[in-house]
Chain A
């Protein structure tokens, strides 16, 4: 467990010092929100109705920029071999990379939530429930993205292939997260939203379990 946290902490430190991935994702988010705001505005009701979709569309696309960061740091520094020569079964490397990407995605999704609330009138009256939805959504996304980014890390076309692979698998997570967010924005009963949460949690558990078990086989050269 200590090694998982050490790996995630080191990658976060490198990401904050290198800045490339996080800054490009934040810039991209700003542009996407601006374009969607112009396209859907200026009626408040229209913006409010679109807010849950905007939140998750923006997060999904920004996530595709961040998805490769978990492994890009190893490619940029030629350190993948060193990582693979660390002792122990390699599942822990998956969990360390997953944790790194999850923290990055959750940080971006928090910023996004505030921006969407400000620009698209997404009500924050049920903020804890919205945060819970973000946690579940970010978990599923990071689970899939970490796995596929590891799978394609040695490919020269990794940056092109990765979004296609991730989006093809992560769609159920995004759909369930949009429906849960819509329910919260429209004031639906918590029991109704909980059905989507359960579905999200199920995806998260399945993706995390399958990815961590398969990871040692896909990361080998």
Chain B
């Protein structure tokens, strides 16, 4: 069976600086892989390349068995949560989630949205501009619960989260893996990585 995401000999540069030099990496169904490494080593860039958001100068990226540039409908099965996660500040948490569901082509489903918000412990009716960093991370977790993605890409998901938030995050990662999905996460926290991932890849 094809890997959910597969990078083969990926080279990526910004201006004259090569950030990724011949990276090979694959995430299989049911697997969680943690990317470790110091600041500036290219973890976020690798995640963005894996998501198909930026093209490498050399090498190949395949998502769900297809070249990343060719996927269309499959993008709905991929969820990339940036650090910090991005939301529309003038919308409330539930408006952000509802609007996102509609844009995914799914029904609005206010009950599922309310349930997801309650599960991550967020209040309703508050605009995201009044959220703390940790609350935004929790709202991002609510997205995972709503989307049930096949491939979850997470950039430093544990930062700004309290202990309870980290437990929710670990549970969400386990649920994605348990349902046959894959997770690729970049982190600086080795202990957290060891707790949630099957294997670690160190970028240097």
A77-B86, A79-B87 are known contacts. Are A85 and B72 too (CB-CB below 8 A)?
Answer: no
Bound-complex Cα distance A10 to B48 (A):
26
| Pairwise interchain contact A82-B75, C-beta atoms closer than 8 A | no
Kindly identify which residue among A17, A81, A83 contacts B90, using a CB–CB cutoff of 8 Å: A17
A87-B75, A221-B53 are known contacts. Are A81 and B82 too (CB-CB below 8 A)?
Answer: yes
| Pairwise interchain contact A221-B73, C-beta atoms closer than 8 A | no
Bound-complex Cα distance A3 to B77 (A):
17
Q: How far is the CB of B10 from chain A (nearest CB, A)?
A: 16
Contacts of A2 in B (CB 8 A): 102, 105
Bound-complex Cα distance A38 to B15 (A):
52
A14-B91, A81-B86, A82-B100 are known contacts. Are A87 and B105 too (CB-CB below 8 A)?
Answer: yes
Bound-complex Cα distance A81 to B86 (A):
9
Bound-complex Cα distance A83 to B88 (A):
12
Contacts of A18 in B (CB 8 A): 90
Instruction: Give residues of chain B (104-138) contacting chain A, Cβ–Cβ below 8 Å.
Output: 104-105
Q: 3 smallest A-B Cβ distances: which pairs? A: A87-B76, A6-B102, A78-B86
Instruction: Give residues of chain A (1-26) contacting chain B, Cβ–Cβ below 8 Å.
Output: 2-3, 6-7, 10, 13-14, 17-18
Question: Could you tell me which A residues sit within 8 Å of B by CB distance?
Answer: 2-3, 6-7, 10, 13-14, 17-18, 73, 76-79, 81-89, 220-221
Contacts of A82 in B (CB 8 A): 80, 86, 100
Instruction: Give residues of chain B (157-196) contacting chain A, Cβ–Cβ below 8 Å.
Output: none
Give chain A's interface secondary structure class.
helix
Bound-complex Cα distance A85 to B76 (A):
7
Instruction: Give residues of chain B (62-115) contacting chain A, Cβ–Cβ below 8 Å.
Output: 72-80, 82, 84, 86-91, 95, 99-100, 102-105
Question: Could you tell me which B residues sit within 8 Å of A by CB distance?
Answer: 48, 51-55, 72-80, 82, 84, 86-91, 95, 99-100, 102-105
Contacts of B73 in A (CB 8 A): 87-88
A5 (CB) vs chain B CBs: closest residue: B102
A17 (CB) vs chain B CBs: closest residue: B90
A18 (CB) vs chain B CBs: closest residue: B90
Q: How far is the CB of B153 from chain A (nearest CB, A)?
A: 10
Bound-complex Cα distance A7 to B103 (A):
7
Of A79, A81, A82, most B-chain CB atoms within 10 Å: A82
Bound-complex Cα distance A17 to B129 (A):
12
Q: How far is the CB of A119 from chain B (nearest CB, A)?
A: 34
Q: How far is the CB of B151 from chain A (nearest CB, A)?
A: 11
Bound-complex Cα distance A6 to B48 (A):
26
| Pairwise interchain contact B102-A87, C-beta atoms closer than 8 A | no
Kindly identify which residue among B72, B91, B102 contacts A89, using a CB–CB cutoff of 8 Å: B72
A79 (CB) vs chain B CBs: closest residue: B86
Q: How far is the CB of B140 from chain A (nearest CB, A)?
A: 11
Contacts of B78 in A (CB 8 A): 85
Contacts of B79 in A (CB 8 A): 85
Contacts of B55 in A (CB 8 A): 220-221
